[in-house]
Amino acid sequence: MKMLVTLRRLGMVVFQATADVENIDHICAISERFLRQECGEVDTFDLSLALREALSNAMLHGCAGRQGAKVFCELTLTDDVLTVLVRDPGPGFDWRALPRREPEPDDEHGRGFHLIRAHADTVNFNEAGNELTFSKRYDCAGRPQSSVSATEDGITFRPGRDLVASTVEGVRVEIAGLLAESESRLTMDLDGVGMVDSLGMGLFVSVHNTLRACGGGLSLINVAPRIHALLHAMRLT
């Protein structure tokens, strides 16, 4: 059984997975997508390689012989620094005894930790040795940026990214900050928004209902034709 549970929050993605090596591919793919969504088109090679090595160690060694054992993994992006934590349920090992030298060319094993250290800025273990944390700084200047402008009709908010499951909560937090300023009318400029899923539509309805209770409402502008067709099909126009 290859169980994988994913939780996505603002600036964070969390996994819990059984020790099936096929899950490594899924976790790395979701993690790369998370980093690109948060940071724009950055190079994800270092993240993917270091994460693969950490997960492989946790699953093949930390979970060895433990029926139904699960690996915990958490990625957090704060101030352009991505921090990755991988924890297994095993007793750990003496990480202090890890050799500092690289393995010999004819060694068949022992390269994992050296690859992590070579592709991360910092690498740390907990005391027991069953939890590894590594971090790497990224230039997130290319990340999707929202913008806010004031008009005679209220505030115009441009999310600057698709409104889908992985982004809705972050956008909701930004809008909540705007509504806290006692605005009763909000215009969302969907220029550059290429996809809105059911959670994005739910966000529109939630914001509109909140504003309508104050005598205002939500307006959408620059809506792509396909998104307009979806809203029309859901009777949201």
Q: What is the mean pLDDT of each run of 10 residues along the chain (237 residues)?
A: 74 91 94 86 93 96 90 93 96 88 77 91 96 93 72 82 85 84 82 90 94 90 94 91
Judge contact between 158 and 140, C-beta under 8 A.
Answer: no
- The Cα 6–Cα 219 span in angstroms is 33
Tell me how far apart the alpha carbons of residues 3 and 117 are, in angstroms, rounded to a whole number: 29
pLDDT value at residue 105: 83
Q: Which residue has the tokens 């996505």?
A: 8
Rounded to 5°, angle at Cα 191 from 236 and 235: 5
Q: What is the DSSP string of 60-102?
A: IIITTT-TT-EEEEEEEEETTEEEEEEE-SS----GGGS-SSP
Burial class (CB in 10 A: 0-12, 13-18, 19+), 224: middle
Q: What gap in Å lies between CA 76 and CA 151, rounded to an integer?
A: 35
Residue 106: DSSP 8-state: T
CA distance 215 to 219: 14
What pLDDT is stored for residue 145 in this prediction? 66
The pLDDT score that the predictor gives to residue 143 is: 63
Task: With CA atoms as reference, report the closest residue to 62 among 115, 19, 21.
Answer: 19
